[in-house]
Amino acid sequence: MSLALLDPEPVTRPPFGFEFELPPERIAQTPAGRREDSRLLAVGRDAMRDLHFGSIVEEIAPGSVLVLNDTRVIAARLLGERDSGGRAEALLERVLDGRRALAMVRASHAPRPGTRIFFGAGRRFCARVLGRREDLFELAFEDPIDEVLAQAGRLPLPPYIRHEPGPEDLDRYQTVYARAAGAVAAPTAGLHFTEALLGALRARGVLVHFLTLHVGAGTFQPMRTIDPAQHRMHSERTIVPGETADAVNAARREGRPVVAVGTTSVRALESAFADGAVQAGARETSLFIVPGYVFRVVDRMITNFHLPGTTLLLLVCAFAGTQRMEAAYRHALRGDYRFFSYGDAMLLERAG
């Protein structure tokens, strides 16, 4: 159960982020019995407290603005075979229009332009490979993508969850406020909230607002470079409604906390900041937050425990401080916290 910084010598490894050993049994394979039954590690500037997520209501001060990502996970995983007969699997990263999408494609050999891939019972649906955009493939479907996913798509559970999606996953791998279809992975910090908790927060005087960031699979992939400066984030679509921007900007002017639920909400808000305020509207973001980044919007963050070597782990190190995060993960490992998408959560205070 050891946990260590990547390396104290920045000559060969970055001087931030960390790796840790995690016993497989600590990776949550199923969610808690009830959403609010998951645990919550409150990480302050000077102390840590072991709580249950239901206590989040008492942890968020009246007048705070709580921002949640209302993206909805689509059935983006497609199992099929190439026209040559070899197996192929596609994970739609982004739907470009009614019949075209960018996808990660896994096959024995990288498919060439013109390759046809068939999906669904009886090879019902067909997609043709148009070309490649870095590590993604552009696919053109003969049928509307909505129809393909409705009949042949599967919920794209993360690879460390070892069972195939079942009825419970169809419910619990979505937030209760999921609305805007387009994500290929859940904004997992939001999985702990219930309508009752959100209602209690509103009754307490917390202002609850939403934005959309359609989570792509690239967000969760380990970095392939030792130097984070060489890592390239996949671009993701974000929408910040006017009422959310107005509420956040008013809180900033008045010194009230802005609490982001999940790293996706953090990235969306920070990406929308320009000319001294959060700007409403739709945009693409490939913002890569590493230690040294100056946060301009978010004061507190709710997040799950993240995989080692990922951009998400660097983001929380940037937000709360690497040493504090190292201590928090050590505490979680000693305290039998459950990790990753179906695991427990943290409430973090911004460093400084």
pLDDT tens track for 291-349: 899 999 999 999 999 988 788 999 999 999 999 999 999 999 999 999 999 999 999 99
Long-range contacts at 308-313 (CB < 8 A, ≥ 24 apart): 308/18, 308/19, 308/20, 308/22, 308/222, 309/17, 309/19, 309/222, 309/223, 310/220, 310/221, 310/222, 310/223, 311/219, 311/223, 311/228, 311/231, 311/233, 312/219, 312/220, 312/263, 313/17, 313/18
Equal CATH topology for 3-73+170-349 and 77-152: no
Q: What is the mean pLDDT of residues 38-65?
A: 97
Residue type, 55: S
For residue 261, pLDDT beyond 70: yes
What pLDDT is recorded for position 17?
45
What pLDDT is recorded for position 7?
29
Q: Which CATH class is domain 3-73+170-349?
A: alpha beta
pLDDT > 90 in the chain, percent: 82
For residue 235, pLDDT beyond 90: no
Q: What is the mean pLDDT of residues 95-118?
A: 95
pTM of the model: 0.91
Composition of the chain by helix, strand, coil, percent to 5: 30, 30, 40
Segments making up each domain of the chain, as ranges? 3-73+170-349, 77-152
pLDDT tens track for 161-184: 999 999 999 999 999 999 999 999
pLDDT tens track for 128-145: 999 999 889 999 999 999
Query: CATH assignment of 77-152, given 3.40.50.2300, 3.10.105.10, 2.40.10.240, 1.20.1250.20?
Result: 2.40.10.240
| pLDDT tier at 278, thresholds 50, 70, 90 | very high
